[in-house]
Amino acid sequence: MKRQKILRLFESRRGHLEYRAKRDYVRNGIASIPCRIFSFTDVISPYSVKGYETLNPDFLDYVKTTADVTPPDCPLVLNIIGNCLSPDEKKTIEKIVRDDFSYDLGLAEMHEHRHTRIFAFMFLGLVLSGILLWLTEALAEEPREVFFILFWFMGESLCDYIFLTGHDLRRERRLAGRLASIKVVFSETYEDPDYTDSEVEKLYSEIEQDVNETIQEDNLYQKEETL
Q: What is the pLDDT of residues 42-67, one digit of tens each?
A: 999 999 998 899 999 999 999 999 99
- For residue 78, give Cα distances in angstroms to 10, 32, 98, 189: 35, 6, 11, 14
Is 13 within a domain?
Answer: no
Please tell me whether residues 67 and 164 are part of one structural domain.
Answer: yes
Compute the distance between CA of residue 202 and CA of residue 102 in angstroms, rounded to an integer: 21
**How would you classify residue 82: left for phi > 0, otherwise alpha for psi between -120 and 50, otherwise beta?**
left
Residue type, 146: V
Please tell me whether residues 210 and 131 are part of one structural domain.
Answer: no
Is 154 within a domain?
Answer: yes
Specify the length of the chain in residues. Answer: 227
Domain with 220, as residue range(s), is: 196-227
Torsion angle, alpha carbons of 89, 92, 94, 98, to 10: -160
* Confidence (pLDDT) at 141: 61
Question: Maximum distance among all alpha carbons in the chain?
Answer: 80
What's the total number of domains in the chain?
Answer: 2
Please tell me whether residues 129 and 212 are part of one structural domain.
Answer: no
Span 120-136, pLDDT tens digits = 888 888 888 788 777 77
Helix (H, G, I), strand (E, B) or coil at 186: strand
Average pLDDT over residues 17-23: 80
